[in-house]
A and B are shown apart, each in its own frame.
Chain A
Amino acid sequence: MNAIETRDLTRYYGTLRAVNRLTLSVDREVFALLGPNGSGKTTTVLMLTTLLRPTEGSATVSGHDIVRDGEKVRRSLSYVPQDMAVDIKLTGRENVLLYARLYGIKNPKDRIDELLAMMQLTDRADDLVKTYSGGMRRRLELAQALVHEPEVLFLDEPTLGLDVAARSTIWEHITALKKGGMTIFVTTHYMDEADRFCDRVGIISKGTLLALDSPQTLKSRLGNDVITARIDGEFKDPDLEGVKLFSFSNNEASFLTEKGREALPHLADAFTKTGVIVRSLALREPTLDDVFLHTVGKVEEPMGFDQTKFRTMLRRRK
């Protein structure tokens, strides 16, 4: 039995199809769902955490059906939304205590001490959360989420708005939890993080799962080399054999090729012939960003702009 199992999971908002026949198995790994804004990542997480009913299809978490056995599902999972929802007028300890009690933990005091120590918050445990940094607040949320030792952990954009050091700390914790046998399902925009820390990634666009594999496999499937050209002038695809254009924006064109070193001069020549000025040419290995752009293509911002989310972001900037 896999920790998360979905079968043709589908969700409509009115006539808009937010998630389209998603079939997925995740077990004892760090799995990342990647996708542009409005692609259905959060909708998927909301369905799996029983906050939203699927329109069609089914899913189980720890073997429990998400529609029929909601309470058992919630008992085996934890959900940390992206909003950073910790009570700033409560101390760190009080924040965790609330969850320990709501989960009905016996001996909450010992468990809380243990978790605060694990998240390196012991020194500050009795300070108001108001005085915590973003990274500390996120670690506090992890402590809350781990209080009942869940089998599955859902993290929506766990490193959003954190500085580099705080991000890597969060990922260290996530990796440690996976080693302990936990299944971790994250959504993220940060491709480099998904590449470094996730065992498998799924790329979703407009509700449809387009790619699903380990970052390494996805990258190698793309080809050996990526050439990025910064140009001036009217861009036209030079259409060379074995050199495939997969993205162009802001005067930067990216090509896939098997033999990058040989392709470089050809590409430069081709550009010069069409009267385009080449500012720079770079040869590199494919990254998950390239996989993403190649899979999803250039996607427009969806129309439904989320006022609430925008406000939350503005608040965070202060």
Chain B
Amino acid sequence: MRGVVYYIERDLLRWIRGKVNVVSSLAMPAAWLIFVGLALPIKFTDNYLDFITPGILVMTMLSAGLSGGTLLMFDKILGFLNKFLALPSPREDILFGKILFTSLRGLIQSTIILVIAVLIGATIYSPVQYGFTYLILFLFGMLLSAFSTTLALFLEDHDSYAAVNAMISMPLFFTSSALMPYSVMPSWLRFVASLNPLSFAIDAIRAVNTGALPIQQIVSLVVLCILITGISTQVFRRMTVQI
């Protein structure tokens, strides 16, 4: 498994040195946090910023996770993948490296968003609560990056990958519990939102913030994570040693 670390280090260096990328990916969630979190006239709570912050953190992980597939996509297109596959180190290391790096990158971005939230007035929680928040975000990030990496394996070119991403990311966000509590949703949205994996993560973080331990949501995320990573591994094996 040492290979995983080396692959992560490679992607990390490439990411940090592409300065524009690092900043631009933060613009969207930061804008949501400031312009929606602080400005929207909301009646159901008097601290909307505290309500929306978990949603924006999960949104940050969502876009980080969904964009993660491009890494493998470009390694495939540009010939890196073939070079790595011809190495004696375990081939799955390439896949796990991508999934872990994408999740890690999401966590770094989420941290910056969290700092911005606190700076503009969000409540500060205890270290244990933040610990659980990070665990939940990490699980969610793994789930998303395993999914997007699998997608990248299936799709032939970057355009179709970007199109699929654009198609799913906004609907996923709006049909989750990110922006409003279940109590004020129309009933059809309440049903959709309760099945949306984004809501699992958002609800879990909100529960943690109230001092509860959301066992059910965490278990759901772990199960989904294992399932999707398992499928991803199978697809990767089949795609890389073409029979």
Contacts and interface: CB of A to CB of B under 8 A. Distances in A.
B78 A85 contact: yes
Given A85-B78, A103-B88, A79 B83 contact: yes
Interface stretch (B9-17, B205-213, B225-233): B9-17
Contacts of A71: 88
A89 B17 contact: yes
Interface in B55-75: none
Contact of B89 (A77, A103, A128): A103
B1 to A, nearest CB: 12
B86 A101 contact: no
Contacts of B88: 71-72, 74-75, 103
B23 to A, nearest CB: 16
A127 to B, nearest CB: 13
A87 interface: yes
Contacts of B241: 50-53, 70
B191 interface: no
Interface in B207-243: 240-243
A51 B77 contact: no
Nearest to A311: B77
Interface in A8-53: 46, 49-53
B120 to A, nearest CB: 33
B79 A81 contact: yes
B179 interface: no
A51 B78 CA distance: 16
Interface string A76-90: 011111111101011
B41 interface: no
B89 A81 contact: no
Contacts, number: 79
Contact of A49 (B3, B18, B79, B86): B86
A307 interface: yes
A51 B91 CA distance: 11
A210 B158 CA distance: 39
Given A89-B13, A90-B14, A101-B6, A51 B85 contact: yes
A53 B243 CA distance: 5
B87 interface: yes
Given A51-B86, A87-B14, A104-B89, A98 B6 contact: yes
A81 B85 CA distance: 12
A53 B79 contact: no
B82 interface: yes
What DSSP secondary structure best describes chain A's contact surface?
mixed
Contacts of B80: 85, 87
Contacts of B10: 87, 90, 98
A102 interface: yes
A120 interface: no
Contacts of B84: 102
A148 to B, nearest CB: 8
A312 interface: yes
A78 B86 contact: yes
B79 A84 contact: yes
A104 B2 CA distance: 9
B115 to A, nearest CB: 26
Given A51-B82, A53-B241, A102 B13 contact: no
A94 B13 contact: yes
Interface string A97-131: 01101111000000000000000000000001000
Contact of B79 (A52, A78, A85, A103): A85
A72 B77 CA distance: 26
Contact of B86 (A74, A82, A94, A307): A74
A250 interface: no
A83 B87 contact: no
Nearest to B158: A311
Contact of B242 (A53, A75, A77, A99): A53
A308 interface: yes
Nearest to B93: A102
Contacts of B82: 46, 51, 79, 81, 83, 85
A90 B12 CA distance: 11
A38 to B, nearest CB: 18
B57 to A, nearest CB: 28
A308 B77 contact: yes
Contacts of A81: 79, 82-83
Contacts of A74: 86-88
B19 to A, nearest CB: 10
B3 A102 contact: yes
A83 B86 contact: no
A77 B87 CA distance: 8
Contacts of A85: 78-80, 82-83
Interface of A: 46, 49-53, 70-72, 74-75, 77-85, 87, 89-90, 94, 98-99, 101-104, 128, 144, 307-308, 311-312
7 contacts: A50-B241, A51-B85, A80-B83, A89-B14, A90-B10, A311-B77, A312-B79
Interface of B: 2-3, 6, 9-10, 13-14, 17-18, 77-80, 82-89, 157, 240-243
- Pairs A-B, 3 closest by C-beta atoms: A83-B79, A85-B79, A79-B86
